[in-house]
Structure 1
Amino acid sequence: MQNRTQNQKQIRLLIDNDTGIDDALALAYLCACDHVDIVAVTSTPGNVNADQVAANNRALLTLCGNPEVPVLIGARKPLEIPLVTTEETHGLQGVGYATLPDAGAREGEDRDAVDFWNDAARANPGELTVLLCAPLTNFALALRREPRLPWLLRKVVIMGGAFYYQGNTTPTAEWNTHVDPHAAKEVFAAYTAAAEAGLPEEQLPIVCALETTERFEMRPGFVNDLAMTAELDEEHVRETDPEGTRSKAENLLLRYVSDALRFYFEFHRNYDQGYIAHVHDYFAAGVAAGTLEYQTKLATLDVETESTLLFGTTVADFRGLWGKPANAKVVTENNPARGFDELREKLADLARRM
């Protein structure tokens, strides 16, 4: 297993998300990593619409001490199909019961996110890591406008897909891919073409699919563990609490995390998965930051966009049966126990600074 926990090389990061409870947890974690320089956060419609995603990102960045990070919007809908959001999973505002005042758009944030990405990549070839925790709409548009993008980026991490594993949106499809399967198909096709043209293996996207992100199954005791590590008052989220109970924590980060995660625990329980929360995007964030352990396997990926039955399904060819070069590295192993220790320590450090 690749152990990245000791590698603290400075990382310049472009984040694309659809915040989202697990997106918010990932963003707060990255704000807590001193070696991560967040260049921009771009907001893709998915869990909620793009404007609400951007508002969530601005508010959380401000809370976490990064108000200067630009928050930009690109696409406002999928490439070819209507947008479907998921308020039942993440709440009307996208972050469960958590609330923060909207920090408000700043000067320059009306710039198109896709143009920003491509300009940043051209200006900093081989330096930028991209973390994609949302439908791949913006990334597909960026690749359309700049076909050299796979060569210009240092590293790409995608949270999405499910390979030979039960989907979380349909029996075979994962949420991010199902929201915009045409975008995901374009992205993987672009990397197939890049691989055929000699793109180095280390620049292929790292794909964190459900079979490994769902191993990051958070239990409610994490919230009080976080409070104790941060040397704050006890903060219990219990399954026996009335639904919709709100945190009274004085620390704003702890209150935000507690209220967001409570909604997520309740959602998973309502769908017969137990009082737990799958924090998919945090794992992908740790891969992008170089702080979590994982193993990968080369594969050629594609997405089904024609079949009604299998719409949005991701397919992985690990054996080269299609006769095409590998276009991705699929994560096959990780270490959730150490990952949750890392998350608790970093968020506790951030909470203590407030």
Structure 2
Amino acid sequence: MTTPLPVLIDCDPGVDDSIAILLALASPELEVLGITTVAGNVPADRTLENGRRVVAWAGRPEVPVYPGCTAPLLGPVVRGKYSGAGGLGGTLLPESAAPAERDHAVDVLTRHLAAAIAESRKITVCVLGPMTNLAVALARDPSLAAGIAQVVAMAGAFSTGGNRTPTAEFNVLADPHAAEIVLRCGAPIVLAPLDVTFQALATPERVQALKARDGRLTRTAVELITFYDRNDPARYGEPGGPLHDPCVIAWLLRPKLFGTREAYVTVGLQPGLGYGQTIGDFFKLTGETPNATVLWKLNAPGFFDLLWDRIAAL
């Protein structure tokens, strides 16, 4: 039997974060060591509570959920637009009965990565929100990068343009300085930008296919995903809401569902229209060595088969 891949999930739940967490917890290929939360879609106290409710909903209350950073390193606070005021649309998930964790996300990341170095067992860090927690840990101790197998982040936008400004994707815009620190850390980086996540479109037909599945969580998952429908076919090509964050987990489970490109990626940090923009050199025009694998193409039918199968099986 293959040893499960150890992962930490850093997130700001969020509808699509919640679906990504479900996918991870439903997948025996992954050992979820913990979930760290950060301010992003909603304030930090809400992302923590949402994370605790998601693991309770999944029937995995033993998975610890930790509080994290409450604001970006620098720059203005930006909140999400598409997950509702509380982060989970109008859906009320069950409260967690597990004791609240008090350790801070930065300390948790530090502890796990230091142990990974000592034990020669690297950890994959899945970042589904602003990169503040991981950036602070790496800024405090850059040697921790040696404990990272890969950082897989839902982050950035290239040919599609942004989803919060004409140039910037939300997770990077919410803390571009943190994203730049992570991109410079020296660990392997995989980015799932809007270019690929827009292809993970939960169309009404695909949501109906989940609704037809018989599972404990499917009805609530359908409710969450239906709320997330942007009703913007002019942007996405057809009705539906893109499930950005589950692409990160799907990459770990089924990398053959994706086409990739290598690029040198940097982040715009100057005020103005380019603030938070991910700038990708895909053709080695700068002479810089590529620092990221960028997910670019998605086998959407295969992605949704995987996602729906796992959610229905929980």
With structure 2 as the length reference, what TM-score do the two structures score? 0.92
Report the alpha carbon displacement of residue 8 of structure 1 after superposing the two structures with TM: 6.1
**Is the counterpart of residue 219 in structure 1 residue 203 in structure 2?**
yes
Name 2:42's counterpart in structure 1. 48
Q: How many residues align?
A: 310
Name 1:172's counterpart in structure 2. 167
In 2, the alpha carbon distance for the partners of 1:327 and 1:139 equals 17
In 2, the alpha carbon distance for the partners of 1:8 and 1:331 equals 25
In 2, the alpha carbon distance for the partners of 1:285 and 1:164 equals 23
Aligned residue for 1:162, secondary structure, equals coil
Instruction: Report sequence identity in percent.
Output: 32
Report the alpha carbon displacement of residue 324 of structure 1 after superposing the two structures with TM: 2.3
| Amino acid across the alignment from 2:66 | L
Query: How far does the alpha carbon of each residue in 1:124-168 deviate from its partner, in whole angstroms, 9 at most, with x for none?
Result: 234311100101111111111221222211121011101132211
In 1, the alpha carbon distance for the partners of 2:97 and 2:296 equals 40
Name 1:93's counterpart in structure 2. 86
Q: Structure 1 residues 272 and 225 mapped into 2: Cα distance closer, same or farther (>3 Å)?
A: same
Q: Structure 1 residues 152 and 290 mapped into 2: Cα distance closer, same or farther (>3 Å)?
A: farther
Name 1:303's counterpart in structure 2. 267
Name 1:156's counterpart in structure 2. 151
Aligned residue for 1:124, secondary structure, equals helix
Computed over aligned residues only, the root mean square deviation of the Cα atoms, in angstroms, reads: 2.1
Preserved CA contact (<8 Å) 2:197 2:244: yes
Report the alpha carbon displacement of residue 262 of structure 1 after superposing the two structures with TM: 1.9
Query: How far does the alpha carbon of each residue in 1:216-247 deviate from its partner, in whole angstroms, 9 at most, with x for none?
Result: 011123333223332x6xxxxxxxxxxxxxxx
Report the alpha carbon displacement of residue 105 of structure 1 after superposing the two structures with TM: 6.3
Name 2:132's counterpart in structure 1. 137
Which runs of structure 2 are paired with 1:179-218 in the superposition (5 Å)?
179-190=174-185, 194=186, 203-218=187-202
Report the alpha carbon displacement of residue 122 of structure 1 after superposing the two structures with TM: 1.3
List alignment gaps of at least 5 residues for structure 2.
Answer: none
Aligned residue for 1:229, secondary structure, equals coil
Preserved CA contact (<8 Å) 1:155 1:204: yes
Q: Which has the higher contact order (CA 8 A, sep 6+)?
A: 1
Report the alpha carbon displacement of residue 259 of structure 1 after superposing the two structures with TM: 1.9
With structure 1 as the length reference, what TM-score do the two structures score? 0.82
Name 1:79's counterpart in structure 2. 73
Name 2:298's counterpart in structure 1. 334
Aligned residue for 1:41, secondary structure, equals strand
In 2, the alpha carbon distance for the partners of 1:74 and 1:53 equals 9
Bigger CA radius of gyration: 1
* 310, 314, 319: which one aligns with 2:283: 319
Q: Structure 1 residues 105 and 10 mapped into 2: Cα distance closer, same or farther (>3 Å)?
A: closer
In 1, the alpha carbon distance for the partners of 2:260 and 2:174 equals 25
Name 1:200's counterpart in structure 2. none
* 25, 33, 53: which one aligns with 1:59: 53
In 2, the alpha carbon distance for the partners of 1:343 and 1:14 equals 19
Name 2:112's counterpart in structure 1. 120
List alignment gaps of at least 5 residues for structure 1.
Answer: 1-6, 195-202, 233-250
